[in-house]
Amino acid sequence: MGDAIPPVFRRDGELFIPTDAAPGPWSPNALHGGPVCGLLCRSLEHAVDDNELLPARLTVDLFRAVPKAPLSVQTRTVRDGRRIKAVDASILHEDTEVARASGLFLLRTEGELNDPYAAEPMRGPDGIESGGLMGGRRPPGARRGFHTTIEARWVTTRGAGPQAAWFRLPTELVEGEETSPFARAAAIGDFGNAVASMSLRRPGGVRGPTFINTDTTLYFSRRPVGEWVGMAADYGVERDGIGLIEIAHFDAEGRYGRAVQARLANRRG
């Protein structure tokens, strides 16, 4: 039997306490971007008390390393209309803002499906073997974190052009809470950086440059379904150490959204 997977965050009153499932690969003392995006999305949703208002856009700015320490979240309603609601959220460590987000919520209405640009469904996740983020199983002794907690099923072969994979978060984002489809997609969506970076690998697994994503904007056309989030690299370019990527998001019913990230070249990596 393997070790039990902890939730990504535990609660202590109004504080969110990151667990060993929250850090990223760069430092055991700094959070992966995924938990940051997920926690901000969850907090934005909690600030909206109308289930008919659905998130259409989430933008997260990752301008500081978020420490593996007690964190608080503050939200502020910017626009509270009947059909449109805009909410901001900030994560704070003590009195320092370490990440922020804005959410746009739109009123759901009944209507005919209008999808003239529907993409082909992405293959999987059924029938594909589960492994780690970088393919295969997690090496013994690898530093634990969000990047090792995630379950991945790669649709494509590494080093063979644009990459695509399915990801699943096999634990709770916040202990004792059901993770919403939007918060799950936001947390997993940070791995768009990894999907794009794997797309740059050359045949034989030779690594290309590495990047740190500094933001994420995720657009939703509907509520995602199921536990698995599919992501396919759709566009990527880099010049002068600044990269831009676009990632198509899928679930079992087809494409539901798109993520865009600005990336900074990690020359030390």
In whole angstroms, what is the distance from residue 233 CA to residue 161 CA?
A: 9
Q: Distance (Å, rounded) from C-alpha 185 to C-alpha 169?
A: 10
Mean pLDDT: which of 3-12, 21-30, 92-101, 108-117 is highest?
92-101
Task: Output the six-digit token pair for 37.
Answer: 């995006």
- With a pLDDT cut of 90, the percent of the chain lying above it is 66
Among 186, 163, 162, 164, CA closest to 173? 186
More confident residue, 154 or 132: 154
Q: Name the token pair of 117.
A: 């640009």
Fold of 9-108+122-265: Porin (2.40.160)
pTM for this prediction: 0.90
- H-only helix segments in the chain: 33-46, 146-149, 181-189, 192-199
What is the Cα–Cα distance from 141 to 236, expressed in whole angstroms?
33
pLDDT in tens, 61-102: 999 999 999 999 999 999 999 999 999 999 999 999 999 999
CB 10 within 8 A of CB 193: no
* Helix 33-46, helix 181-189: angle, nearest 10: 150
